[in-house]
Amino acid sequence: MPPAAEILLGDATGSQRDTIVLDGSTLRLSTLSLIGRGLLHVVPCEVRLVEVQNAYEAVRGAVEGGRPLYGVTTGVGAIKDRAVALTSSTDRTDLVRAHHFGVGEPLAPEIVRAGIAIRVNTALSGMVGCSPDLVRAYVAALDADIVPVVRRLGSIGAADIGLMSQVATALAGEGQVFHRGVLKPAEMALREAGLTPHVFRLKDALSAVSTNALTVASAGATLIEAAQTVRVAMATGSSAAAALRASPEPWRVAMRIGSPREAAAGAVLTAVADAFPWSPATHLHDPLSLRMMAQIFGASAGVVAFAAAAVEAATARPDDNPVVIDGIPMTSGGSLPLELALTLQSVGPGLAHLARNILNRIVLIANGGRGVLPTNLVSEDTDATGFGPLVKLAGDLASRVMAELAPVSAMPLLIAGGMEDEAMFAPLIVERLNRQITALRMMVAIEALLAAQGLDMQGLQPAGLVAIVHESVRAEVAFLDKDRALSLDIETIERNLFQPALLETVRNFYESITTDELIFSH
């Protein structure tokens, strides 16, 4: 992977934010997350701004020399052959307005900030052809905490045209923004921040709308949540294995004969068992959902990590059309990062395998048996129904994870008079991953609840990571000795398991065991 942009630490007293100088280098997802949350001050590299100016002058020279340039001296899409009367001072903001068609719920401000940073970063490659003033306008908006309202529907993944246009019109003083968290008209926010509306000249309008920056930002945030989910799922899965008194032997074997990620997962699972050495049940072979945990967690972690690397690479790759190469504006097909879309799409099956694995253990532990647990995890001396009905919720959630699996990247689409006949639908892929993650997190909470009940019924005193999961459950949810409503219990456990402090504890536990990044460390 190319070198990543470095963060410059702020004042030790915390009186100012840390700063990142964007220079076209790869951005780590952890860095994007900090930018998105407003915790990093973004500054463009002055040396790279010279390259931005050079590319802009190349565009100006082509225009003044009478060369047709798509979206600059011509229309776009079906009217690409229609000439546009243009001088270097012509205001082309109408091109931005024409593509402002997004609808639906707004993207989170964190995503919009990160998307703006990605647009700035790829522009600093010196290959986009926009003006340095456009780069500075983006950075000034971030610095003033002006975050455009971007409605999420309107991108087919061949540039986020319907989404990035909403950012661009805000820079022009139109539309709505959040200014320091307060919703207000963009014109008012710019005025209060002492900024003037940007005028889109030459290639600025096309550069502002024709990029996949918001999709890349959304994908990065989703993969961070996917990584957190896999990490916590391994902790709750380990706890269920302890309650079921599974044999750790297959996990030790995975350390020796498994793939690198299987071996890393095996090392983590073995460390959990070493910290809390339960006595395995007497079965020669455990069910596959226990025996093959290292393989399933290793594979799930692997697809997330692979996709994360692809997203990080995309933060430094200009995806414009046209681009400026060696001082010459050239037509490009880079607005279709299909490899990225297919990589993101591969995460879905990985999460689905994880969901099936969790469901299988939920069924095992709720059914009791194995000589250690009663059916439905309640005493046989009571009339309580126990946790048996809860398996239906787990099945519903698992089916929702599976329902998002049909590939969408190859769906046919023909628009713009046949000129635009390819797409990748990456925004929809990311949206489906988010739905999978939401369902998975509730499944993880159910497994944690059943694991805690199973451990307590046996009078076991967990240690290590199993104890951390057990304490997270029991902090607010009591042992079940008679039937009660469980809805709030499950939601409470899900919230507790994904608190930042617990996420950090779990990640630190894994990283103390293996130098291999079981999940990319974001």
pLDDT tens string 2-42: 577 767 666 443 436 799 999 999 999 999 999 999 999 99
Task: Give the C-alpha separation, 349 to 37, whole Å.
Answer: 30
- Helix then strand then coil, % of the chain, to nearest 5: 55, 10, 35
Q: Are 203 and 287 in a shared domain?
A: no
Task: Give the C-alpha separation, 77 to 13, whole Å.
Answer: 53
For residue 111, being part of any structural domain is answered with yes
| Closest by CA position to 205, among listed 254, 256, 140, 134 | 134
Look up the CATH number of the domain holding residue 117.
1.10.275.10
| Closest by CA position to 341, among listed 152, 107, 122, 157 | 157
In contact, 335 and 416? CB cutoff 8 Å:
no
Question: Residue 405's pLDDT is what?
Answer: 93
Query: In terms of residue numbers, what domain contains 296?
Result: 218-318+334-511
Return all residues near 467 (Cβ < 8 A) that are at least 6 apart: 276
Q: Are 142 and 267 in a shared domain?
A: no
Of all residues in the chain, what percent carry a pLDDT higher than 90? 77
Opening angle at CA 363, ends 359 and 366, nearest 5: 130
How confident is the model over 352-377, as pLDDT tens digits? 999 999 999 999 999 986 778 999 99
For residue 324, being part of any structural domain is answered with no
Q: Are 195 and 230 in a shared domain?
A: no
Domain boundary among 211, 240, 260: 211
Q: What is the 3 state secondary structure string of 460-516?
A: CCCCHHHHHHHHHHHCCCCCCCCCCCCHHHHHHHHHHHCCHHHHHHHHHHHHCCCCC
Collapse the DSSP code of 445 into the 3-class scheme (helix H, G, I; strand E, B; otherwise coil) and give the result: helix
Task: Give the C-alpha separation, 126 to 118, whole Å.
Answer: 14
Pairing of strands 323-325, 146-148: unpaired
DSSP string covering 77-99: GGGTTSB----TT-B-HHHHHHT
Question: Residue 87's pLDDT is what?
Answer: 63
Look up the CATH number of the domain holding residue 265.
1.20.200.10
Q: Are 193 and 262 in a shared domain?
A: no
Question: Residue 2's pLDDT is what?
Answer: 57
Q: Are 200 and 339 in a shared domain?
A: no
Bridge partners (DSSP) of residue 21 are 43
Q: Are 491 and 346 in a shared domain?
A: yes
Q: Are 21 and 161 in a shared domain?
A: yes
For residue 521, being part of any structural domain is answered with no
For residue 503, being part of any structural domain is answered with yes
| Closest by CA position to 177, among listed 191, 167, 192 | 167
How confident is the model over 61-98, as pLDDT tens digits? 999 898 988 888 887 877 877 887 766 567 888 999 99
Q: Are 175 and 228 in a shared domain?
A: no
Q: Are 164 and 87 in a shared domain?
A: yes
DSSP string covering 217-277: HHHHHHHHHHHHHHHHHHHHHHHHHHHTT--SHHHHHHHHHS-HHHHHHHHHHHHHHHHS-
For residue 516, being part of any structural domain is answered with no
For residue 325, being part of any structural domain is answered with no
Domain boundary among 211, 228, 253: 211
Q: Are 194 and 299 in a shared domain?
A: no
Q: Are 162 and 271 in a shared domain?
A: no
What is the number of domains present in the chain? 2
Q: How many other β-carbons are positioned within 10 Å of the β-carbon of residue 444?
A: 27
For residue 1, being part of any structural domain is answered with no
How confident is the model over 94-136, as pLDDT tens digits? 999 999 999 999 999 999 999 999 999 999 999 999 999 999 9
Question: Residue 416's pLDDT is what?
Answer: 57
Domain boundary among 182, 211, 240: 211
For residue 501, being part of any structural domain is answered with yes
What parts of the chain have a pLDDT lower than 50? 11-15
Q: Are 116 and 253 in a shared domain?
A: no
In contact, 112 and 167? CB cutoff 8 Å:
yes
Question: Residue 88's pLDDT is what?
Answer: 57
